[in-house]
Structure formats: structure tokens, C-alpha cells
Amino acid sequence: MASRGDLPSSITQRRAPDFSSSATETDLGLRSGGWHTETSPVDAAPTTTERTERQSSFLETLRPVASLGDGNHTPQNVALTSFALGGVAGLGLAWSLYIFGTAVTSILGSSVPPAGTGSMFSLGPALRLLGPVFVALPLYHFLEYIVTALYNPAAVEYDSFMFSPDPDGRFSLALLASLVEFLVEVYLFPSMKLHWWTWALGLLCLVVGQTCRTLAMTTAKRSFNHYVASVREPGHVLVTSGIYRLARHPSYLGFYLWAVGLQIYLGNPICTLAYVGVLGMFFQSRIAYEEQALIRFFGADYVRYQQTTAALVPYIY
């Protein structure tokens, strides 16, 4: 048996590592990421204050730099409003497609509940009428904005959605009144809402009215404005072509037909009469004021146009 001294030189002896207190990480074969030593102590658990500061810092990174829903004409507000209008219109369209197709059959094949009886939501045939309403309303507001943005971009603003066309909120109150009348009459006199001819006439007025108003805006382009101008702006020209050959104020005619048609469609006799009277008087005074300004702007040209083209708005010929 060979002694230690007889071992070949190719076989080296390893000295046992020194585990004394003076040993270093190099002596122990340790590197960063290995065992924790005195030179890499374990981090202490964060305090409550530190956790709060970290959470606040994280939330701060999520805080937007621009405001949303403040009514200003910003891209984010336009996007949010358009998304909301599209959502309402989509629900209204789905509602219409799902139940309006069977409305006539259901109404003709079922008896009308006695006045003042039953749950409001059990009076299905009449409530089905609301589906197209939730399409017509957001479509009107969306078209007011997008047509202005496309054909008269210099005049577009957030108010171009026309949610509040008057400072007193009369437009919103009128819509609220029509909804209240509809729901009350659905509950008390459901048979009032079940006449197919009111649906047909109302829908016809809605479609024709919206078409007239949109065509008026697209035809006039930069000469159209939601507000009556007291000073002639550069680029403002007298438009007598297209739909303006048929009516002097097709946008007013369109809104009149649209608003009254909505009440006819809902079968609201009170609001129908109120809309006819109030809108007629409103447009009578507005058109008289606007045409005075147009005569100042265009002189004899507008007078000739006024004499040869009807207004086709009630009380104005």
C-alpha cells in the first residue's frame, strides 16, 4: 500500500476550508445571491408608513394628466360622450329588433288590460315603443356633432352635441315631460298606445325630419351654425341649392318634424299639441329675427330668395 509520500504529484491535496470567524465569502465559496452574511443583511419588513407611500406612488402613476367628464371640448370628453350615445343606441336597436318584430301580433292577439291594473312592466306591447326612441335620441345628438365637425370644423364645440340647446334647459324638460306622459298613460290607458297608424306616422316624421336637418347642415357647410349670427362671418354665403331650393329653413323644418313626430309615435296627445304650439311660436320669432340678419348680410339676393321659396314651418310661409 502506498504511503502518503508516495502519491503521484498529479494528485493534489485540498486544504479544508477555514470556518473560523475570520473566514470571508471567498473562503466559503459564496457569491452574491448565496447565503446572507454580515455583509448582505436581510432587508427589514416595510413599515406601515413605507407601504402607504408605495401605494400612493403607485396610484399617482395611474392618475391621468387630463380631466374627464368636465364638459370641456376635449378629445377624451368627445370619445366618452360618443361611446355613451353609441351604447344607448345599441341597446335601443337590440330592444327594437328583439321585441318590436312581434309587437303587432302580440297586440292584435291579446286583450288590453283594464285601466289602472297590473304592473307597469307587464304592459309589454306599449312599452315596446321605447326601443326606437332610444335609437332616435342618441342618433340625433351624435349627428349634430359629427356633421358639424365634418362640414364646419371651425364652429364645432362640445355644445355641438346639442344636449342643452337653450340655457334654460327647456329642451330637456320637454323630453322629460313626454316620457312622464307616456309612462302614466301606459299604466292608466294602455289602449291609447296600441294604434299602428300613430307608430307609422310618428316614425315617418322622425325619419323625414332627421333627414331634412342633416341635409340642411351638409348642404350649407360653413354657412350653417347652431346659433343665429349677428355679424356676417368670412365664408358665409347664401345657400339656395339642394334642399334649400325646397325650403328656406330646412333645419328648422327638420327639427320640427322630428320633435312632433316623436310625440305622435309615443301616442302622447298632450305633448303633441304642446310641441306643435310651443315649437311653432319659437320658430316664428327665431326665423323673423334670423331673416332680418340675412337681409342685412345679403340684401336684395335674400329678399328674392325669400319671395320665391317657402319656409314650410308652421306660422311661417
pLDDT for 125 equals 66
SS3 278: helix
The residue among 246, 199, 240 whose CA lies nearest residue 220 is: 240
pLDDT for 59 equals 65
11 found inside a domain = no
The grid coordinates listed for 81 are 360622450
Measured CA to CA, the distance from residue 271 to residue 262 in angstroms comes to 10
80 found inside a domain = yes
pLDDT for 306 equals 93
The grid coordinates listed for 86 are 353609441
Tally the domains of the chain.
1
pLDDT for 99 equals 67
Domain with 184 in it: what CATH number? 1.20.120.1630
pLDDT for 73 equals 92
pLDDT < 50 stretches in the chain: 1-5, 7-12, 14, 19-37, 39, 111-123
64 found inside a domain = no
19 found inside a domain = no
Q: Which residues contact 128 (CB under 8 A, 6 or more apart)?
A: 95, 99, 100, 103
Phi (first) and psi of residue 137, to 5 degrees:
-65, -55
316 found inside a domain = no
53 found inside a domain = no
Measured CA to CA, the distance from residue 122 to residue 313 in angstroms comes to 40
17 found inside a domain = no
Residues of the domain holding 157:
75-308
What's the predicted TM-score (pTM) here?
A: 0.75
Interval 99-110: pLDDT, tens: 655 555 555 555
49 found inside a domain = no
Q: Which residues contact 176 (CB under 8 A, 6 or more apart)?
A: none
